[in-house]
């Protein structure tokens, strides 16, 4: 008996010996027909699908990829792959902005975003924007980046190239193609690419026994700075949510990312270009959004915050990013105007950050002035009371005053967490001891 019949008996699948091959083929054809019907239904529901005039005879024969996506087969020594080519002109819009308004990108600010000073010496036209579409999110060597989307600024516009492995066998050629396009590119820009795209591609290069050309490139991953700069605005920090909220870009009829792997598996079996058209478009828009987001995040670092589109919260976030990047001067420049600002919550937070900068740089009078102002505004400001108490205890050596401030903080009953309470009571006991011993000496 064949292996498969034995296996089917174990799994309880139905199969009849001898007739197995015929029924197998029959059900396969049936399955493909069902798949086609499902796809037709899916595509006709989508605006993207409707744009494409599906020929009436399409059922049974797919639409060639080249008919739907501008691009061509490209060959190199590893074989062939499909490369899509598009240019977004300088005047074309992506959300609120035209492409030409995105540039030039301020490399100093990109370096801050990336936390990599190397970027300062580079040119924004050397950036390679990268986003891949993959056969899954699980990671591991069984996940393949079948579509490698790349983009860069060129001649006032934005160029995208999408390298597509039409089958697993074309992957090596596509990876070599990526290698070729890296010439002249000095750094990568991605969204979550450090953890995902670059990581996955590293595995793919090893699997294809090719050197990894990405590994040594500086890499600006926008995910982390975007979180730092925009988390006060957004709960959802995925690229799609950012697009709508900060780029003013709404997608229409976009394929959900979760459906993309299945589209590719379906494509492998049916070779119908309509299955992939949405995926190419999705990926191209992702790359454009990367460029727009990079520009927008750089803008949020505008030193004077004069840009009308910056809210106080944005400026506070920018200041905090500078603090995290150990650039206190830039942070102070943004914090000072915020203290007197109209939004009390931002003003308080800015005061707090600023006072800590002053404290760390031994500018005690400036720090104390802020704390005193904070206490004037809110007599129960725990942070300010505690900082003043520390200052009194350790700098001014005024134990009695420190204890008085601590007692005052202890009285802010409603605002104390158990940890706060424990800290305060430790402080209080210490101060009381000190006070007692001093009195004793006297």
Partner 1 sequence: MAKLTLQEWLMRAEGDRRFMENVRAIRRIPTRPGDFSGYPAWVHPSLKNVLAARGISQLYSHQAKAVDLVRKGLSVVLVTPTASGKTLCYNLPVLQKILEEPETRALYLFPTKALAQDQMHEVHGLIGELKADIKTYTYDGDTPDDARQAIRRQGHVVVTNPDMLHAGILPHHTKWQKLFANLQYVVIDELHVYRGVFGSHVTNVLRRLVRICRFYGRDPVFVCCSATVANPQEHAERLLERPVTLIAESGAPTAAKTFILYNPPIVNRELGIRQSALTPVRKMAAELIENDVQTIVFATSRLNVEVLTKYLKDRFAKGKSVDTQFVTGYRGGYLPNLRRQIEAGLRRREVMGVVTTNALELGIDIGDLEAAILCGYPGSIASTWQQAGRAGRRTGQSLALLIARSSPLDQFIVENPDYFFSRSPEFCRVNPDNLLILLHHIKSAAFELPFEKGERFGGENLEELLDYLEGKGVLHRAGARWHWSAESYPADEVSLRSVNPENVVIVDTTDAGNHRVIAEVDWDSAFTAVHDDAIYMVESQQYHVNKLDLERKTAYVRKVEVDYFTDAMTFTNVRVIDAFAKRPGREIIVEHGEVQVVSKVVGFKKIKFYTSENLGYGDVNLPEKDMHTTSYWFTIPRDRLAGLSYNQAEIIDGLAGLAYSLHHLAAMILMADLHDIDRAIGDKSGEWFVRKDRNWRTITTSPSGKGESTPATDAFDPTIFLFDAYPGGIGFSDLLFERHDVLLNSARQLIRGCPCQCGCPSCVGPTLEVGPRAKEAALAILSLLQE
| Span interacting with partner 1, options 120-128, 134-142, 241-249, 286-294, rule CB under 8 A | 134-142
Residue 80's nearest CA partner among 197, 171, 182, 191 is 171
Measured from the CB atom, the residue of 96 and 167 that comes closer to partner 1 is 167
3-state secondary structure of 151: strand
- Considering only 133-141, 294-302, 384-392, 408-416, which stretch makes contact with partner 1 by CB under 8 A? 133-141
- What tokens does 196 get? 């995902």
Q: Find the shortest distance in angstroms from Cβ 178 to partner 1.
A: 17
Q: Which of 2, 75, 92, 361 binds partner 1 (CB under 8 A)?
A: 2
Q: Going residue by residue from 229 to 268, which x/- string records binding to partner 1, judged by CB under 8 A?
A: --------------------------------xx--x--x
Are 102 and 291 in contact, with CB atoms under 8 Å apart? yes
Helix axes 223-230, 312-324, angle to 10 degrees: 130
- Least distance CB 287 / partner 1 (angstroms): 23
Binding window for partner 1 (CB under 8 A); candidates: 4-12, 49-57, 219-227, 292-300: 4-12
CA–CA gap between residue 184 and residue 270 (Å, rounded): 38
Identified binder of partner 1 from the candidate list 3, 308, 326, 441, rule CB under 8 A = 3
* Interacting positions 19-38 with partner 1 (CB under 8 A): 24, 28
The residue with tokens 């009381």 is 432
Interface residue with partner 1 among 11, 57, 342, 417 (CB under 8 A) is 11
Residue 12 contacts partner 1 per CB under 8 A: yes
C-beta of 203 vs 343, nearer to partner 1: 203
- Determine the Cα angle at 104 with ends 314 and 93, to 5°: 80
Q: Which residue in 32, 34, 118, 137 binds partner 1 (CB under 8 A)?
A: 137
| C-alpha–C-alpha distance, residues 403 and 409, integer Å | 10
Single out the segment in contact with partner 1 by CB under 8 A; choices: 155-163, 202-210, 243-251, 400-408: 202-210
Q: Which residues 141-180 are close enough to bind partner 1 by CB under 8 A?
A: 141-142, 144, 167-169
230 touches 310 (CB < 8 A): no
Helix (H) or strand (E) holding 220: strand 219-221
Three-state DSSP class for 221? strand
Using CB under 8 A, count the residues that bind partner 1: 32
Closest CB to partner 1 among residues 15, 179 = 15
What's 399's DSSP letter?
Answer: H
Closest separation in Å from C-beta 77 to partner 1: 17
**CB nearer to partner 1: pick between 1 and 41:** 1
The pair of structure tokens assigned to 163 is 């390298």
- The DSSP H or E segment spanning 198 is helix 197-207
Q: Phi-psi region for residue 170, left (φ > 0), alpha (ψ -120 to 50) or beta? A: alpha
The residue from 29, 32, 202, 336 that contacts partner 1 (CB under 8 A) is: 202
Binding-site member from 18, 121, 140, 418 for partner 1 (CB under 8 A): 140
- Least separation, in Å, of the C-beta of 55 and partner 1? 27
Which residues pair with residue 132 across a beta bridge? 148
Q: How far apart are the first and last CA of the chain?
A: 103
Question: Residue from 58, 80, 181, 203 that binds partner 1 (CB under 8 A)?
Answer: 203
Rounded Cα distance, 127 and 32, in Å: 43
Nearer to partner 1, 135 or 289 (CB): 135
Q: Which residue has the tokens 């101060």?
A: 431
Q: Are 260 and 279 in contact (CB under 8 A)?
A: yes
Choice between 123 and 167, CB closer to partner 1: 167
- Rounded Cα distance between 369 and 362, Å, is 13
**Could you tell me the two tokens for 261?**
């792997």
Q: How far is the CB of 7 from partner 1 (least distance, A)?
A: 5
CB 205 within 8 A of CB 78: no
337 binds partner 1 (CB under 8 A): no
Please list, in sequence order, all residues whose beta carbon lies within 8 angstroms of the beta carbon of residue 253, skipping any fewer than 6 positions away: 46, 47, 48, 49, 278
Question: Should residue 7 be labelled a site residue for partner 1 when binding is judged by CB under 8 A?
Answer: yes
8 Å CB contact between 162 and 147: yes
Find the binding residues for partner 1 in span 266-285 (CB under 8 A).
268-269
168/364 with CB nearer partner 1: 168
361 binds partner 1 (CB under 8 A): no
Q: Is 16 in the site for partner 1 (CB under 8 A)?
A: no
- Please report, as ranges, the residues that interact with partner 1 according to CB under 8 A: 2-4, 6-7, 9-12, 24, 28, 135-142, 144, 167-169, 202-203, 206-207, 261-262, 265, 268-269
């Amino acid at each position: 008996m064949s292996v498969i019949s034995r296996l089917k008996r174990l799994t309880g699948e139905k199969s009849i010996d001898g007739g197995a091959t015929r029924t197998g083929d029959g059900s396969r054809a049936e399955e493909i027909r069902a798949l086609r019907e499902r796809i037709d239904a899916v595509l006709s529901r989508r605006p993207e699908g409707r744009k494409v005039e599906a020929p009436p005879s399409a059922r049974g024969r797919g639409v060639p990829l080249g008919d739907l996506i501008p691009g061509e087969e490209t060959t190199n020594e590893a074989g062939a792959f499909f490369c899509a080519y598009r240019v977004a002109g300088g005047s074309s819009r992506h959300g609120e902005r035209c492409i030409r308004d995105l540039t030039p990108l301020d490399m100093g600010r990109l370096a801050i975003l990336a936390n990599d000073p190397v970027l300062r010496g580079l040119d924004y036209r050397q950036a390679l924007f990268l986003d891949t579409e993959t056969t899954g999110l699980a990671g591991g060597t069984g996940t393949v980046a079948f579509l490698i989307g790349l983009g860069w600024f060129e001649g006032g516009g934005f160029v995208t190239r999408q390298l597509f492995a039409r089958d697993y066998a074309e992957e090596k050629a596509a990876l070599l193609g990526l290698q070729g396009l890296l010439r002249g590119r000095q750094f990568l820009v991605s969204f979550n690419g450090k953890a995902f795209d670059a990581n996955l591609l590293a595995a793919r290069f090893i699997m294809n026994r090719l050197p990894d050309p990405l590994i040594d490139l500086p890499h600006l991953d926008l995910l982390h700075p975007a979180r730092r700069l925009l988390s006060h605005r957004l709960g959802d920090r995925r690229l799609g949510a950012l697009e709508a909220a900060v780029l003013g870009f709404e997608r229409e009829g976009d394929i959900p990312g979760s459906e993309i792997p299945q589209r590719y598996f379906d494509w492998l079996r049916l070779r119908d270009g309509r299955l992939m058209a949405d995926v190419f478009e999705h990926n191209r828009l992702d790359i454009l959004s990367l460029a727009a987001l990079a520009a927008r995040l750089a803008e949020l670092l505008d030193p004077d915050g004069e840009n009308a589109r910056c809210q106080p919260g944005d400026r506070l976030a920018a200041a905090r990013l500078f603090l995290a990047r150990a650039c206190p001067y830039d942070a102070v420049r943004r914090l000072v105007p915020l203290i007197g600002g109209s939004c009390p919550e931002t003003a308080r937070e800015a005061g707090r950050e600023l006072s800590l900068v002053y404290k760390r740089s031994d500018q005690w009078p400036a720090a104390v002035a802020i704390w005193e102002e904070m206490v004037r505004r809110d007599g129960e400001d725990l942070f300010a009371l505690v900082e003043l108490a520390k200052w009194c205890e350790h700098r001014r050596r005024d134990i009695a005053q420190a204890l008085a401030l601590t007692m005052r903080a202890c009285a802010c009953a409603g605002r104390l967490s158990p940890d706060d309470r424990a800290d305060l009571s430790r402080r209080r006991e210490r101060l009381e001891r000190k006070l007692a011993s001093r009195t004793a000496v006297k």
